Structure 1
Amino acid sequence: MRALFIWLAFGAAVLLALLSFSGFSMAAGPDGGGSSITVSEKSSASRPVLNLSGSSFGGFTKITVLWNPATGTATRESYLYGDSLRRESTMGVDGDGTEMAVSAEFDGMARLGVVKLSSPNATPQGTPAFEASESYYGSFKIDEKVDDCGSSIASERSVSGTGYVAVNKKVGDLLRTHEAGTGSYESEERIDTYTSYIAKSVSLSAEPEPFGAAGISANLSLPWREGVASRKEGESYIGEEYSGLTRLDKTTIVRGLGEMETEANFSGTARYRMISSEELEMDESYRGDYAISRNVELLQPSVRDPHLSVEKDGTIVYEGDRTLARYVITLENDGGKTLEPVLVRDIFPPGGVFVRSSLKHTLTSDGANWSLTHLSPGDVREIELVLDVTEYGGEELVNRVVAFGGIDGSWVSAANFSAVEINWLSCSSPGAVFISKAGEVDEAVGNHVLYSLEVENLGDRPLVATVTDRLPDGMRLISSSPAFASYEDGVITWNLIDLAPGKVETVVYGAEALWSGRFVNIAEVAARYVDGSSIEPARARSVVEVDEFEGERPRPGWQPPAWGLGEAEEIWG
């Protein structure tokens, strides 16, 4: 009986492929196989699609195929052997991407698929950037959304019903999720290829299901299989596979290629594997009834505390009579905790007009917003942005960006800006920004120094600024408020992206002295007005004396020897 079902399923798949790509539709005779067919449908499309409808093999047939050559993405939606179909569908295609939203309730067979090539000019023989195949036979309700933008694609899916299910989805060679079997089925799923993210919640119960098509019927009973895996070639593998399932209630979140979190309650067989280039390996198997909670993290943070960095690079490009500014926003989680979600806001320069972005965005009156599912420690992501700045009249093109990362109910933030010279006849405004600096030794801990920087906008327009402080030799940073933008080789940097006229921004940070003595350092603020006018930099200096303390390190290099001659008063009488 199973062989019969497989033969019928294979024949249906072949028929779907022929119908989808040949433009051919089969219609039944007057009797139509004697089935009672009810169809209620609403659909809209922004461009012509291959749309085939009719009655075949005693049931309703509906096939829709959509191809976007600009992004190399194809979507397919088909219904076969259907006794009833209620469907609402919205599809849209443009040069930036593809949008598809489907809500369907049916009795019969359905198949949904998405393929996104690695690039618009790639061949089908290569590994797709994203590939999804869903097959259903029975009674199901489906709500699905696919959002294809630039080089990334995001999908959301909610399915419930009873019958046969086979789902297989891949993100390149990096991620895979799948499930198949017969019985009761519920699934909530979200996939985002940009951040290599999968979140799925499934509830499965094995039951025999009747199968019938073309006048042939059979009962089919297939135990459930389910699995999720992430792979980073030559570095790591995290995977879990379930088979022979009579029931499964499970929630799994995959955050990138080094983190997988699962809560599972099942009856069947499970295998959990983890392999790392750090010579870590785990292989566990379970058979029976189990409730399991797992959290695997393969992370290499550069900073222990939560921290988010953002950089922005801009270039000017001339296309015909247009002046374009191309920006690359680089986000990095250089802390020790996963940030979830990550929100990014770009504030356009005056007169800047949005042209395109590499990631799905939301436009505001003065900029654009993006939302990322997460950034795991060590993750780096880039967003490309193009603006039309033909009407910009300033000397420097100033563009600001701010990012927020969620962590345990609170947020860490980072800000930066790009200043690109667009008018070479520029000059600097003197005395438009002021900086002062003070340092004080902590009375409780004698080798701790608390520094305070104050930056004031003395001008009449908002400005952006980069504040830099190089710690003297023998000192290291221990705290900062607000959080620093970067700290490398003893140089601390803070970015101020919205300093209003007359406003004073205060930066407080703590440093630890490794030895006693005098410590001198200079802070500098490099600023420019938001409208593009440049400003002369300002500097401030501070000097602190740290007394000798227990446990101090010897100062490196040659030091005058202790001759034992006593104090000056003793020597000279």
Structure 2
Amino acid sequence: MNPGDHGTIEIFTKLKGNLLFDENNDMILNICRINNSENKSEFRLTTPVVSGLWINKTADRETVYTGEDIIYTIKYGYAGSDLVGDVYITDYLPKGVEPAFQEEEYTYSSSRSVRLVLNKDNILRWEAGDLSPGENGTIVFAVHVSKRRMDFAEASSVTGDGYTYVRKFLSTAEETPSLTNRVTISGTYYEDQSEIPLPPVSASASVSVIGAAGTVVRTTEHGSGHYEEDERTTLKLENRSITLKKEIFAKHVNTSFSLPNNRSVKFESPWSDRTEADNRVLGDVLTENYLYTDTLRKNISLDVDMNQTVYKSESDFKNGMAQIRYKQHTLDLPRSQKIIKELGEEYSGSFRVMESIDSYGASTKYQKSALGKGFAASDLRPNPYQRSYEFGSGYYSSEEAAQSGFVVKDVKMLYAPSNETAGGRNLSYAVPWGEGMWTKDPKIGLVIGEGIRSATSVNKEAQMGRSFLSQLGDFNGTLELKMAMGTNPKNETHRVEQVFSGSFKTETALSVAVAPKHLRPHLWISKEAIMTDSETCLFLINVTNDGNKLLGPLNITDIMPDGLIFLNSSMRPEINGRIIRWTMPGLEIGKTQTIKLYTRVREDMGYPFVNSVSAEGRYLDQVAVASNFTRVDMGYYLPINPVSNFEMARPFGVFPERMLWGEWQPSPCFNMTSWTPSAYQMIEEYYDKLDKATVGYGSSPYEVP
């Protein structure tokens, strides 16, 4: 710059609304420096913060059910240096809530005097008067989350010939899954007999509405020819419930219709039927899709709500395609969601398929029966550590079930080329059969798997758990069987590999289990009670197979005292009054199954109270029984030492045991040997005597002698 030169720089700034100031720091300091080759200078400018108003808002909970109350706490104050007058606090209630009081009966908690001057159209406004420097206050009030009540019901019955197109969409989802409540504070600053309105300062609090994500069901069907349909549909918004029961028969026939002016229209569309269910509360997504079918007969029932997704379908189709998909994912943000359960099935040809999926709590039960000719592919992943699959073309028969880490299937497959027609195009399949199962136990680094490939025939029965795999049958192809145990390949402690190529009969079982505490069938059960709040009690029921035999089926029975109300549990139970019963397909050696039971304590419930539980597991004609109980006091629980015993029972007559999935007789090599050294026999005799001596005294039989 030359001598005498000068310039101007203008900078426009805005104070951030979320900055907080106190009585010792209510000034903004701005520093400007100018430097040149010879010297430098600095200029400081201090600006007082005129507003000085601050406000904060919190809610007493992060999630809420419709019909419940939310308590909001508003904290406000003034951190300036001069008096501020005409202070108003305005609260904007979100849609779907209302003040939990009558205006004339309104009461609130406040550290200083405020007056409610407006309560209209979900707007609350308090007059706080004047605020001196450093003065603050608190307002506490409650709102009620309204229940949206809407019931919808439909019944239809249609029979006719021609072209049909039907589409339906049902949803219980909320427009906004959370309630955001915003509050502002405003005031007036007086200077030299002038009034300067201060800009308002705001804060907000958000509470998620449980179940607001809702449930969605979509159906679409279309085609030409003969059509018969009976359908019942209901929707209840209160518990996000949608039910669908539908029976269809459709046969494809080309149809044509005459139009005015010597015109005509012709329809040649094969039948298609699609059903989708999206339970966004539980993370379940289900799709059933039939395409290009010549004949379709289907009976489907669907129930989705906040607690369950239940799907049952029986279908028989000819010359068409079918796709069945099921996924359960975590309830994270869409980009962070992880699939934890998955099922995929595809059929092309003529098949009869019966399918059921029951998702309740943390448990999912799956059953399938399929029979037909054409191309078939099935891929079941009941959890991240297990998989069962098969694919190929020809004749196909499969029965499969999965629940609580157990997978059982019985398949018969015979290879044959298949020529099908779909959408006017010819499809040819010539895929030899492939089949496989694998399971992992990451806690001990165990992997067990078997796979059949390039097979012209497969006939096998198989059962799989977290740490065992057993199969019986014959095949013509190539079989690979592997078992490895270790944290990584360099630290393997066990490895088994078998490869058979040709025509073989197999009876194989691989199992890894911890050393049992008892060399006989035995169960151990424990129970813990947690008061999650003043009226909700969570019971944790732990059942352990500490014997040397796989037990199944397993029945757990909880007898609730009078005054407890069942809410839900991690597995679907059978409820008969105060008796709650769960059934599991089995429990492996050394494994523990935990059931979460949520109950509500009635106001007239007397303390302390006792809740008892028992478990019963079978091995052949023997029965292992264990029981326990827990005493719950006001505000805390006191577990009582359990009583566990074992009883042998032989049924009247000899008959094979039938599990949930049908008749199953494991091969002899699957069971642990009954031969034991004399030292183990002496230890077992000691436990037998200890069991008899401690029954009824509440002592644990697991103390080491």
Cα 1:201–1:63, aligned 2, differ >3 Å: closer, same or farther? same
Structure 1 unaligned runs (5+)? Answer: 1-20, 425-474, 485-491, 498-506, 514-573
Match for residue 55 of structure 2?
none
- Deviation readout 1:309-341 (Å, 9 max, x if unpaired): 11111122436xxx2221110111112211111
C-alpha contact 1:132 1:170 (8 A) present in aligned 2 = yes
* Selected match of 1:244 from 445, 450, 454: 454
- Deviation readout 1:143-185 (Å, 9 max, x if unpaired): 1110001122111111101111011111332001111111111
C-alpha contact 2:537 2:599 (8 A) present in aligned 1 = yes
Cα 1:385–1:291, aligned 2, differ >3 Å: closer, same or farther? same
Q: Classify the secondary structure of the residue corresponding to 1:478.
A: helix
Matched, 1:178 2:389: yes
* Selected match of 1:76 from 260, 274, 287: 287
- Deviation readout 1:423-442 (Å, 9 max, x if unpaired): 89xxxxxxxxxxxxxxxxxx
Cα 1:282–1:155, aligned 2, differ >3 Å: closer, same or farther? same
Does 280-289 or 40-49 show the bigger shift? 40-49
**Deviation at residue 360 of structure 1 after TM alignment:** 0.7
C-alpha contact 2:436 2:451 (8 A) present in aligned 1 = yes
Match for residue 151 of structure 1?
362
* Selected match of 1:290 from 475, 493, 504: 504
C-alpha contact 1:240 1:271 (8 A) present in aligned 2 = yes
Match for residue 522 of structure 2?
307
Q: Classify the secondary structure of the residue corresponding to 1:202.
A: strand
Counterpart-to-counterpart distance in 1, 2:702 and 2:588: 28
Aligned partner of 2:436: which letter? Answer: G
Cα 1:185–1:422, aligned 2, differ >3 Å: closer, same or farther? same
**Deviation at residue 480 of structure 1 after TM alignment:** 3.4
Does 364-373 or 216-225 show the bigger shift? 216-225
C-alpha contact 2:570 2:595 (8 A) present in aligned 1 = yes
Q: Classify the secondary structure of the residue corresponding to 2:688.
A: strand
C-alpha contact 2:350 2:374 (8 A) present in aligned 1 = yes
Aligned partner of 2:456: which letter? Answer: T
Matched, 1:379 2:591: yes
Cα 1:42–1:223, aligned 2, differ >3 Å: closer, same or farther? farther
Structure with bigger gyration radius: 2
Q: Structure 1 segments of 4 or more deviating over 6 A?
A: 21-28, 49-57, 507-513
- Deviation readout 1:247-304 (Å, 9 max, x if unpaired): 111100012x211110021111111111112611111111111100001111113313
Match for residue 372 of structure 2?
161
C-alpha contact 1:39 1:85 (8 A) present in aligned 2 = no
Identity %: 23
Match for residue 106 of structure 1?
317
**Deviation at residue 129 of structure 1 after TM alignment:** 1.7
Aligned partner of 1:210: which letter? Answer: N
Match for residue 196 of structure 1?
405
Aligned partner of 2:588: which letter? Answer: S
Aligned partner of 2:503: which letter? Answer: D
Cα 1:242–1:508, aligned 2, differ >3 Å: closer, same or farther? closer
Match for residue 571 of structure 1?
none
Counterpart-to-counterpart distance in 1, 2:635 and 2:478: 68
Match for residue 226 of structure 1?
435
**Deviation at residue 399 of structure 1 after TM alignment:** 0.3
Counterpart-to-counterpart distance in 2, 1:480 and 1:354: 37
Aligned length: 414
Cα 1:392–1:326, aligned 2, differ >3 Å: closer, same or farther? farther
Matched, 1:480 2:688: yes
TM-score by length of 2: 0.54
Counterpart-to-counterpart distance in 2, 1:25 and 1:127: 28
Aligned partner of 2:527: which letter? Answer: K
Q: Classify the secondary structure of the residue corresponding to 1:480.
A: helix
Match for residue 520 of structure 1?
none
C-alpha contact 2:233 2:244 (8 A) present in aligned 1 = no
Aligned partner of 1:295: which letter? Answer: A
* Selected match of 2:570 from 350, 358, 365: 358
- Deviation readout 1:479-502 (Å, 9 max, x if unpaired): 437958xxxxxxx965689xxxxx
**Deviation at residue 212 of structure 1 after TM alignment:** 1.2
Match for residue 406 of structure 1?
618
Match for residue 329 of structure 1?
541
C-alpha contact 1:49 1:66 (8 A) present in aligned 2 = no
Cα 1:483–1:212, aligned 2, differ >3 Å: closer, same or farther? farther
Counterpart-to-counterpart distance in 1, 2:549 and 2:579: 29
Q: Classify the secondary structure of the residue corresponding to 1:266.
A: strand
Q: Classify the secondary structure of the residue corresponding to 1:129.
A: strand
Counterpart-to-counterpart distance in 1, 2:221 and 2:522: 60
Cα 1:383–1:392, aligned 2, differ >3 Å: closer, same or farther? farther
Aligned partner of 2:405: which letter? Answer: S
Aligned partner of 1:480: which letter? Answer: D
Structure 2 unaligned runs (5+)? Answer: 1-215, 236-241, 253-266, 487-491, 637-682
**Deviation at residue 386 of structure 1 after TM alignment:** 1.4
C-alpha contact 1:49 1:64 (8 A) present in aligned 2 = no
Aligned partner of 1:365: which letter? Answer: G
**Deviation at residue 79 of structure 1 after TM alignment:** 0.4
* Selected match of 2:467 from 258, 266, 273: 258
* Selected match of 1:273 from 482, 503, 524: 482
Match for residue 609 of structure 2?
397
- Deviation readout 1:502-528 (Å, 9 max, x if unpaired): xxxxx9999999xxxxxxxxxxxxxxx
**Deviation at residue 126 of structure 1 after TM alignment:** 4.5
Q: Classify the secondary structure of the residue corresponding to 1:230.
A: strand
Q: Classify the secondary structure of the residue corresponding to 2:450.
A: strand
C-alpha contact 1:127 1:173 (8 A) present in aligned 2 = no
Match for residue 446 of structure 1?
none
Q: Classify the secondary structure of the residue corresponding to 2:339.
A: coil
C-alpha contact 2:617 2:625 (8 A) present in aligned 1 = yes
Cα 1:356–1:276, aligned 2, differ >3 Å: closer, same or farther? same
Counterpart-to-counterpart distance in 2, 1:87 and 1:235: 44
Counterpart-to-counterpart distance in 2, 1:373 and 1:122: 34
* Selected match of 2:553 from 330, 341, 365: 341
Q: Classify the secondary structure of the residue corresponding to 2:548.
A: coil
Counterpart-to-counterpart distance in 2, 1:50 and 1:345: 32
Where do 1:495-506 residues align within 5 Å?
none
C-alpha contact 1:480 1:509 (8 A) present in aligned 2 = no
Cα 1:122–1:247, aligned 2, differ >3 Å: closer, same or farther? farther
Cα 1:483–1:84, aligned 2, differ >3 Å: closer, same or farther? farther
Does 158-167 or 297-306 show the bigger shift? 297-306
Counterpart-to-counterpart distance in 1, 2:513 and 2:478: 29
Cα 1:422–1:276, aligned 2, differ >3 Å: closer, same or farther? same
Aligned partner of 1:68: which letter? Answer: N
Q: Classify the secondary structure of the residue corresponding to 1:394.
A: coil
Counterpart-to-counterpart distance in 1, 2:633 and 2:700: 32
Counterpart-to-counterpart distance in 2, 1:331 and 1:275: 28
**Deviation at residue 57 of structure 1 after TM alignment:** 7.2
Cα 1:312–1:225, aligned 2, differ >3 Å: closer, same or farther? same
Q: Quick one: higher RCO (CA 8 Å, sep 6+), 1 or 2?
A: 1
C-alpha contact 2:243 2:301 (8 A) present in aligned 1 = no
Does 205-214 or 221-230 show the bigger shift? 205-214
Q: Classify the secondary structure of the residue corresponding to 1:273.
A: strand
Counterpart-to-counterpart distance in 1, 2:537 and 2:573: 18
**Deviation at residue 51 of structure 1 after TM alignment:** 12
Counterpart-to-counterpart distance in 1, 2:222 and 2:684: 79
**Deviation at residue 221 of structure 1 after TM alignment:** 1.7
| CA-atom RMSD in angstroms | 3.4
